[in-house]
Amino acid sequence: MSVVVIALFLVVAPRPAGATWVGDGVYGFGDAPNLGGIGGMTFNAPSVGLAPTSDGKGYWVVTADGQVIPFGDARSFGDATSLLLTAPIVGMAATPDGGGYWLVAMDGGVFGFGDAPFLGSTGAIALNQPIVGMASTPDGGGYWLVAMDGGVFAFGDAAFRGSTGNLALVQPVTGMAPTPDGAGYWLVASDGGVFSFGDALFHGSAVGRKIGTWVVGLAPTHDGGGYWLAAATGGVLSYGNAAFLGPTPNLPPFSPAAAIAATPDGAGYWLLRPEEAAITFAHPSSVSRVFPAGASAVRLAASQLGPNPSAGQGSYCNPYGPCVEWCAMFAAWAWEGAGIPIPRYAFTGDIFAWSVRHGRVLPASARPVAGDGVLFGTGPQNPATSQHVGIVAQVWPNGAIDVIEGDSGPEPEGKFAVTINGPFLPAFSQQVNGMSIYAFVEP
């Protein structure tokens, strides 16, 4: 978030290095058993997907670099960490017998492990918008991929039942789920809009409910008579015969959620909360430009991941500067700790001006590297045009980025936390973030 220029720079001791969200990373509600989670583990990339076993006694978690972590009776059948991924992994689906799983990348590349057969992909197709998720048919003989514009791609025995690819969506699609018989599916958008196709029944949506956050996924009940929507705050909304089992989307704690999966009998669900694991952002990295201090800045920024760092101390109070909107001060704090002498400006446009004076501005079309700053908005003129700033933590071969941001969501009103945003393609920042990118900076 951006504010007007101020002259006061109050230095407050930050939280200790290594501080992060506290918890297990995977949470069961209703009859979904807690079988372990990613909390306390360390990964090179954020976790992005969750898939349960057919008996509901296990689940897998997948990270953006293709690492698969099994829990409960879920078995490991391999992963994509040894592959030269062109784009980050964005989701996964399991076979009906639990003997394998598919991973899908942002470019639509599909990778099958165990008894999950490769049935096709969009990896060689020029997509209008990136892939955001996948779902498998009940017999495991096919799967669907869904893009951010709601375009649906069917493979194997998965039948195409329709899409929103030809509609002008208010918000991007974030996920999909099939009906129990595989003769239909639902798509869900970030504003909680639900789109039904085939025999999928519409049971309601979150559009207009003013939940103060965005929706990241949908999971149906076992008979298709209802579904749950997962909010980015780690809360859940229920529709149809889906029982509300907690937690409420707009009440604390605000540990961000990335995925939801239902138990086989529909009496419970799991939520994946990625930021409760430590993330090094060690791979992949861009080799087009060397920025030695960038890795240090990213490590410092990542050590601060967590909710409001100064809860109860007043509006916008934070450890990085005075009690004002503080995304710019957070970024400058991380750069300063890495030996980069950029002042702790409160207005994001001043970071742009500093970079202009030092010849370190990159256009929005440029390829950044880890440690660079990303400026959101339409220009540096004022707080209405220069809205927010984050630190690029990871750059993927296809140009997708992960960004660490202070004074960020997913709390209601999108404030007060240090969060991971991504992976996303900078060209689609307006759809993903509600703000375009107007520049990158080399601090």
Residue 133 has pLDDT above 90, yes or no: yes
Q: What pLDDT does 288 receive?
A: 60
Q: What pLDDT does 287 receive?
A: 57
- Encoded tokens for 159: 């039948």
Q: Which amino acid is at 421?
A: N
What is the spatial distance between Cα 159 and Cα 407, in angstroms, rounded to a whole number? 43
Single pTM value for the model: 0.93
Rounded mean pLDDT, 330-340? 96
Q: What pLDDT does 110 receive?
A: 98
Task: Mean pLDDT check: name the lowest of 19-23, 72-76, 119-123.
Answer: 19-23
Express each pLDDT in 13-46 by its tens digit: 333 333 445 579 999 999 999 999 999 899 999 9
Express each pLDDT in 142-152 by its tens digit: 999 999 999 99
Domains (ranges, CATH) in the chain?
26-276 (2.130.10.10), 280-441 (3.90.1720.10)
Rounded mean pLDDT, 393-403? 96
Rounded mean pLDDT, 204-222? 93
Q: What pLDDT does 5 receive?
A: 25
Q: How many CB atoms lie within 10 A of CB 129?
A: 18
Residue 371 has pLDDT above 60, yes or no: yes
Nearest to 274 by CA among 90, 429, 55: 90
Nearest to 393 by CA among 422, 414, 364: 422
Express each pLDDT in 260-313 by its tens digit: 999 999 999 999 999 999 999 988 865 566 678 899 999 999 999 988 888 778
Q: What pLDDT does 23 receive?
A: 74
Q: Is the peptide bond before 70 cis (omega within 30 degrees of 0)?
A: no
